[in-house]
Amino acid sequence: MVRWPCRVAWAAVLLVAGCAAPGSHAPPFARVPYEAFSRQAAVAIALGEWRLWGSRVDNDPISYAPTDLDAIPERQEGLWQRVGEYWWQGMDAGERDARYTGKHDAKGKVFPARINGRFAWSAAFISYVMRIAGAGRAFPYAPAHSTYIDAAVRDQTPLLTAEDPAVYAPRVGDIVCFGRDRAAGLRFHDLPTDGFFPAHCGIVTGEPQGEIDMVGGNVDDAVVMTQVATLPGGLLSDAIFPWLVVLRVNAPS
């Protein structure tokens, strides 16, 4: 397992990371970046996107089952383009997936709504938020959550520390993740993995009494907030989601 020789101050790490930001489609203020990354910035950006999508709250998104696929939010005017921005600005330059939108493939062709799962954009949303918040090269931008989950477990990114959700209570600005489909049985002790696995992650945007607010992309084909119950001490309840890892963000509140 590769480990950083020491935990340097977050500001110094992010300053160096920002100066060496990779070529991307992000605007200069995020690519340089103009200001050091902070939890507050990431949370504000995530909440701003949530409001843009209608401030929807769904505490059991697993049960979501649209009857009219052509009416799903991500394919509507003004929103499919926004998904395209998540892909374009969230991915590094040259990433094929950066050309996707909420309803177009990499060649600009409209794909059938029934196969939209092949173009899942929840990781692109997280990558977009972190990029625009000024994470620079400190975050491993990717079209799959498993990429930056495994990077955090291996201590390959200074911005993230992988924490076991059974013992660590997430704070505002952290990223909480669970495995999906064939990876639903994965737990923290199974990490890191040997490659891709399906997962979902959201950004903790609030800590009301007895719960956390989590904002994620591609939830109900939109950006949605989910209010997740917590146990005494703030630990995540697994009543709905099979929690895999909490990515502690190493930046100030």
Residue 35, phi-psi category: left (phi > 0), alpha (psi -120 to 50), beta (remainder): beta
Would 4 be classed as within a structural domain?
Answer: no
Domain count, the chain: 1
Q: Is the pTM of the predicted complex or chain greater than 0.85?
A: yes
Which two tokens mark 86? 């998540």
**DSSP string of 39-80, one letter each residue:** HHHHHHHHHHHHHHTT--B-S-GGG---S-GGGSGGGSTTTH
Which two tokens mark 107? 């060649």
Predicted local distance difference test score (pLDDT) of residue 251: 87
Closest CA to 23 of 91, 83, 125: 91
Would 5 be classed as within a structural domain?
Answer: no
Would 25 be classed as within a structural domain?
Answer: yes
Would 132 be classed as within a structural domain?
Answer: yes
Distances (CA, A) of 125 to 21, 182, 204, 236: 19, 22, 14, 22
DSSP structure class, residue 114:
G
Residue carrying the six token digits 């910035």: 41
Amino acid at 135: A
Would 2 be classed as within a structural domain?
Answer: no
Predicted local distance difference test score (pLDDT) of residue 25: 83
**DSSP string of 168-217, one letter each residue:** ----TT-EEEEE-GGGTT--GGG-S-SS---EEEEEEEE--TTEEEEEEE
pLDDT tens, the chain, 253 aa long = 334 333 444 444 444 444 434 556 889 999 999 999 999 999 999 999 999 999 999 999 988 999 999 899 999 999 999 999 999 999 998 899 999 999 999 999 999 999 999 999 999 999 999 999 999 999 999 999 999 999 999 999 999 999 999 999 999 999 999 999 999 999 999 999 989 999 999 999 999 999 999 999 999 999 999 999 999 999 999 999 999 999 999 987 6
Would 171 be classed as within a structural domain?
Answer: yes
Residue pair 133/36 in contact by the 8 Å Cβ criterion: no
Cα 178 from Cα 142, distance rounded (Å): 17
Which two tokens mark 122? 């929840």
Cα 62 from Cα 178, distance rounded (Å): 12
Would 67 be classed as within a structural domain?
Answer: yes
Domain that holds residue 72: 10-249
Would 115 be classed as within a structural domain?
Answer: yes
Predicted local distance difference test score (pLDDT) of residue 22: 52
